[in-house]
A and B are shown apart, each in its own frame.
Chain A
Amino acid sequence: MANIAAKRIKREFKEVMKSEEVAGGAIKLELVNDSWTELKGQIAGPPDTPYEGGTFLLEIKVPETYPFNPPKIRFMTKIWHPNVSSVTGAICLDILKDQWAAALTLRTVLLSIQALLSAAEPNDPQDAVVAKQYRESPQLFNLTAKHWTNVYAGGPSSIFDFNQKVQLLIDMGIDEHQARVALSTYDWELERATEQLFS
């Protein structure tokens, strides 16, 4: 790895550890290997959002050309958000692409991702299905996002109705996550979800 990238990540790592966000529990950062090319980030779901109370893990890969090119970041924790793929965890955020600037750091990027959770951008979606629900039935979107946060990110609000529907499909022999995706996609209408799963 190029010297400047490793050197900078080390500095950033130290700085993140000292930052007040880490002290406050909003973000966390840990090393995955000794080469400083791969890290694991963690952000807390922002208050007053369906993600509140959840902790979301992020995979961070630092390219050799860092900081001249952005780090590659994706959600490892499954999340229901218009700008994050519910399948791969890929994030649609301009600063991770063409709006990257060399003065941005892992700390500011993690905070930006956290901010993205409180301010979705449905007009520039990563997951079209989620974005459609976000625009057309915001109530349902909120509940779905809460449900996912509860199941995958340890969020506090368990939604009885949704859990029951998922359980129904599991009893039919369908994989739990697959069942949840189908139900979320079809606005929790059991019939349409079942139809799609068995077609």
Chain B
Amino acid sequence: MAETSESQASASASAPGGDAGGEDDKRDERMLECNICLDTARDAVVSMCGHLFCWPCLHQWLETRPSRKVCPVCKAAISRDKVIPLYGRGNTKQEDPRNKVPPRPAGQRTEPENNSGFPGFGFGEGFHMSFGIGAFPFGVFTSTFNFGDSRPSAAPHGTAQYEEEQFLSKIFLWVAILFVLWLIFA
């Protein structure tokens, strides 16, 4: 690997001596180098502070330090929405480079599963009520057996779970009332 780079180095060293125009071309090229990978910027974007980057490079930089989003050159504030994509004439499809690198999907988390199934309704500390639909005979058992102890105890007051349970039981209560009214009037 070192050998290849040496030969490249000697090649590039001999090039400017060959023709005088090479020097100018090189300077122009360097003007368009990404400040992160130091290569010619592809999918170029420019920051509000005027610094040029490849969008993939800048995207990775922003991802590396999500809490400290600064321009890698001048440390001005920088963000995804505050960079401008550059469209050259040679570029046939003028797609916003920012859409190419997909933003990382947000993390997903689910609540741990409740083993005892349907939690039913809680009124106060110990009393629970459930209802069944129609004349299915097991409905009787459902309401009967729900007086047993097999359900988890209600969450203690003040916790988020307690609030959630209260909220849910209110919703179900209203659904039940509406259902009963619908049965009566329909």
Contacts and interface: CB of A to CB of B under 8 A. Distances in A.
Main DSSP-derived SS at the B contact region = loop
Contact of B60 (A8, A11, A12, A68): A68
Which residue, of A35, A67, A105, has the highest number of chain B Cβ atoms within 10 A? A67
B80 interface: no
A103 B35 contact: yes
A161 interface: no
Contacts of B36: 67-68, 102-103
A102 B5 CA distance: 23
Interface residues of B, number: 21
B175 interface: no
Interface string A85-99: 000000000000011
B64 A34 contact: no
B9 A101 contact: no
Interface residues of A, number: 24
A139 to B, nearest CB: 37
A10 interface: yes
B39 A102 contact: no
Contact of A103 (B1, B64, B68, B72): B72
Contacts of B38: 8, 11-12, 105
A163 interface: no
Contacts of A98: 68
Contact of B73 (A8, A10, A101): A101
B121 interface: no
B9 to A, nearest CB: 6
Nearest to B3: A34
Contacts of B39: 7, 11
Given A12-B38, A103-B51, 13 more contacts: A7-B37, A7-B39, A10-B5, A11-B38, A13-B5, A36-B1, A101-B71, A101-B72, A102-B57, A102-B61, A102-B72, A104-B72, A105-B38
13 contacts: A4-B37, A7-B39, A10-B5, A13-B5, A14-B9, A31-B2, A67-B37, A68-B61, A69-B64, A98-B68, A101-B71, A102-B61, A105-B38
